[in-house]
Amino acid sequence: MDMSDIPESHTTQVVLAADQESLIRIHAAFCTIFSSPVRLQIMDCLGAGECSVGELAERLGLPMANISQHLRVMRNQGAVSTRRDGKTIWYRVANPKFLEGIMKVREGLEEEMRKRGGMV
């Protein structure tokens, strides 16, 4: 049986399901970048606007090499994007929805901690 024997609506559903599976795998891999507190702090800083590695290092009190490693991972996964201005590379959040998602998770955690009498 070739694809021409399958009703078009069914083949569309199969393709959508495969795309959804692929997207779920990409989503899971993407979310691993936020398992690092440093990367969450970087996203918080970038939420206020573009920053260079030096600015992020100063704000977070971490070595530039450490910040650069985290940014490389974040850039490879598509969480941050860059622009070059002379010798300086400026980092920014690639999509504002990424920050919104982080904040929604954080708000949910705060709500659940309050319900359970935990510290926030």
55, 18 Cβ separation under 8 angstroms: no
The yes-or-no verdict on residue 37 having pLDDT over 70 is: yes
Residue at 16 is within a domain: yes
Rounded to an integer, the average pLDDT of 27-45 is 95
Confidence tier at 61 by pLDDT (50, 70, 90): very high
Residue at 72 is within a domain: yes
We report the CATH number of the domain holding residue 104 as 1.10.10.10
- C-alpha 107/C-alpha 110 separation (Å) is 5
Confidence tier at 117 by pLDDT (50, 70, 90): confident
Residue at 4 is within a domain: no
Report the candidate in 23, 24, 66, 25 with the shortest Cα–Cα distance to residue 42: 66
Domain that holds residue 93: 9-115
Residue at 57 is within a domain: yes
**Number of domains the chain contains:** 1
Residue holding tokens 């504002």? 96
Q: Is 113 helix (H, G, I), strand (E, B) or coil?
A: helix
Residue at 68 is within a domain: yes
The yes-or-no verdict on residue 2 having pLDDT over 70 is: no
Residue at 3 is within a domain: no
